[in-house]
């Protein structure tokens, strides 16, 4: 799946650049290859260029430089209506003056399909999203979740191989969003379609995708499967953007046996896995996931470094406990512990020792 050979890729961006004003680049040197059937999410903060990439793929924006290929063919000069790409918009863009069935018939009508075939396909598409009885309604008569399903059905009804989704779940409430995430991924795998999904919601990206491309500053910072992305971020932006992270600034003291010892600014030492550092003396940002911090010293490795910490706040969140600590002079060090029967509930003011496995602590670029 991590194949990057653009010759075999279904969707490929080759050295694509985009500028709106001729002065600044919104997309800088984008290279991306997607095999057929992949669910790829473009994730990034707003202004990172992810939506621009999607619009270039859909044909609504032209690339300033570089080539976009679909099925091996360059599509830079093909207008959007000839690309045959299904698209789900952020606000659904269901045509308000047409009924649900008419909305779904639209792509089939412009393709001049015979009426019987059209009706069959509409029926199948509506059943697929469990909206079979709503064909006669207008979009305004549907709830947000129902509109979302119809938008999905419309993008799929003409059986495109590639479907683009531009933050399709942004307008739904949390529960419905989670439910739709589940449904969209199921449908995509069931139909075997290729999906490019744009979102700024990292949970959505992690739960839905085969691979996630993290965008920032017009570049892909990391392109990897969700677990890889979460557990082994390649740079500090990815580490901080994906999931919650504790960061500590320090200087590399020595590197041996594939582990590095980092001296924090207040002089304390910790063990890390060097990722973006190669030699002693470099500044580094050390990142540790809150759930990988251990407060029970017995579970730590022999000879592991530990840090002194003071409990500032204890928050009961049901399934987990979230505790804020003061560590190495910083007040925002978070740890998460599972709400298990034998779990300690820390009290504010308590002084504890914390530590972690060196593999969980990554020394990244500063």
Strand pairing report for 11-18 and 27-34: antiparallel
List 36, 66, 78, 89, residue binding other proteins (CB under 8 A)? 89
CB neighbour class for 3 (10 Å; exposed up to 12, middle 13-18, buried from 19): exposed
- C-beta of 178: minimal distance to other proteins in Å? 6
> Beta strands of 136-268 (E only): which ranges?
162-166, 194-199, 211-216, 219-224, 246-256, 259-264
Q: Which two tokens stand for residue 275?
A: 């990722």
- C-beta of 166: minimal distance to other proteins in Å? 9
Contact between 183 and other proteins per CB under 8 A: yes
Q: Which two tokens stand for residue 291?
A: 């759930």
Q: Which two tokens stand for residue 227?
A: 């677990």
Contact between 203 and other proteins per CB under 8 A: no
Contact between 178 and other proteins per CB under 8 A: yes
Under 8 Å between Cβ of 195 and 160? no
Of 107 and 358, CB closest to other proteins: 107
Contact between 59 and other proteins per CB under 8 A: yes
Give CA–CA dist 275/284, Å, rounded.
Answer: 10
Of 22 and 267, CB closest to other proteins: 22
Contact between 345 and other proteins per CB under 8 A: no
Q: Which two tokens stand for residue 270?
A: 């910790």
CA distances from 191 to 128, 161, 162 (A): 10, 9, 11
Of 165 and 363, CB closest to other proteins: 165
Site residues for other proteins, window 115-154 (CB under 8 A)?
Answer: 130, 143, 145-146, 149, 154
Give CA–CA dist 253/264, Å, rounded.
Answer: 10
List 64, 137, 158, 357, residue binding other proteins (CB under 8 A)? 158
Contact between 80 and other proteins per CB under 8 A: yes
Of 174 and 256, CB closest to other proteins: 174
Of 87 and 198, CB closest to other proteins: 87
Helix/strand/coil for 73: strand
CB neighbour class for 258 (10 Å; exposed up to 12, middle 13-18, buried from 19): exposed
List 87, 261, 293, 307, residue binding other proteins (CB under 8 A)? 87
Site string for other proteins, 91-120 (x = CB under 8 A): x-x-xxx--------xx--xx---------
The residue assigned the tokens 């995509």 is: 188
Contact between 256 and other proteins per CB under 8 A: no
Contact between 10 and other proteins per CB under 8 A: no
Contact between 85 and other proteins per CB under 8 A: yes
- C-beta of 255: minimal distance to other proteins in Å? 45
CB neighbour class for 239 (10 Å; exposed up to 12, middle 13-18, buried from 19): buried
The residue assigned the tokens 């709830």 is: 143
- C-beta of 131: minimal distance to other proteins in Å? 9
- C-beta of 187: minimal distance to other proteins in Å? 11
Of 22 and 349, CB closest to other proteins: 22
Contact between 20 and other proteins per CB under 8 A: no
Contact between 281 and other proteins per CB under 8 A: no
Reference 147, options 197, 91, 208, 199; nearest CA is 91
Contact between 79 and other proteins per CB under 8 A: yes
Contact between 189 and other proteins per CB under 8 A: no
Sign of the CA dihedral 155, 156, 161, 162? positive
- C-beta of 233: minimal distance to other proteins in Å? 29
Reference 221, options 209, 240, 207, 235; nearest CA is 235
Of 181 and 209, CB closest to other proteins: 181
Q: Which spans of this chain sit near other proteins (rule: CB under 8 A)?
A: 58-60, 79-87, 89-91, 93, 95-97, 106-107, 110-111, 130, 143, 145-146, 149, 154-155, 158, 164, 175-176, 178-179, 182-183
């Amino acid at each position: 799946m991590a194949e990057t050979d653009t010759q075999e890729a279904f969707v490929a961006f080759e050295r694509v650049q985009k500028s709106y004003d001729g002065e600044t680049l919104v997309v800088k040197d984008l290279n991306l290859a997607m095999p057929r059937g992949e669910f790829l999410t473009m994730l990034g903060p707003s202004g990172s260029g992810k939506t621009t990439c999607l619009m270039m793929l859909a044909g609504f924006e032209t690339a300033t430089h570089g080539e976009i290929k679909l099925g091996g063919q360059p599509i830079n000069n093909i207008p959007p209506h000839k690309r045959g790409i299904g698209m789900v918009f952020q606000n659904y863009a269901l045509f308000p003056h047409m009924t649900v069935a008419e909305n779904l018939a639209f792509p089939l009508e412009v393709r001049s399909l015979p009426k019987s075939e059209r009706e069959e396909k509409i029926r199948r598409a509506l059943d697929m999203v469990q909206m079979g009885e709503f064909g006669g309604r207008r979009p305004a008569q549907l709830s947000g979740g129902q509109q979302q399903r119809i938008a999905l059905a419309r993008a799929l009804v003409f059986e495109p191989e590639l479907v683009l989704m531009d933050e399709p779940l942004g307008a739904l409430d949390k529960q419905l969003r989670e439910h739709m995430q589940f449904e969209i991924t199921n449908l995509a795998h069931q139909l075997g379609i290729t999906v490019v999904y744009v979102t700024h919601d990292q949970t959505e990206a992690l739960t839905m995708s085969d691979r996630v491309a993290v965008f920032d500053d017009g570049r892909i910072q990391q392109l990897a499967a969700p677990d890889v992305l979460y557990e082994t971020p390649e740079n500090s932006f990815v580490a901080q953007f994906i999931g919650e992270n504790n960061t500590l600034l320090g200087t590399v003291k020595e590197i041996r046996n594939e582990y590095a010892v980092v001296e924090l600014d207040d002089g304390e030492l910790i063990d890390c896995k060097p990722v973006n550092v190669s030699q002693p003396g470099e500044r580094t940002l050390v990142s540790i996931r809150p759930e990988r911090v251990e407060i029970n010293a017995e579970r730590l490795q022999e000879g592991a470094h530990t840090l002194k910490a003071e409990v500032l706040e204890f928050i009961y969140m049901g399934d987990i406990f979230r505790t804020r600590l003061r560590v190495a002079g910083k007040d925002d060090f978070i740890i998460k512990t599972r709400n298990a029967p034998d779990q300690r509930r820390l009290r504010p003011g308590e002084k504890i020792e914390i530590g972690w496995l060196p593999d969980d602590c990554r020394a990244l670029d500063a």
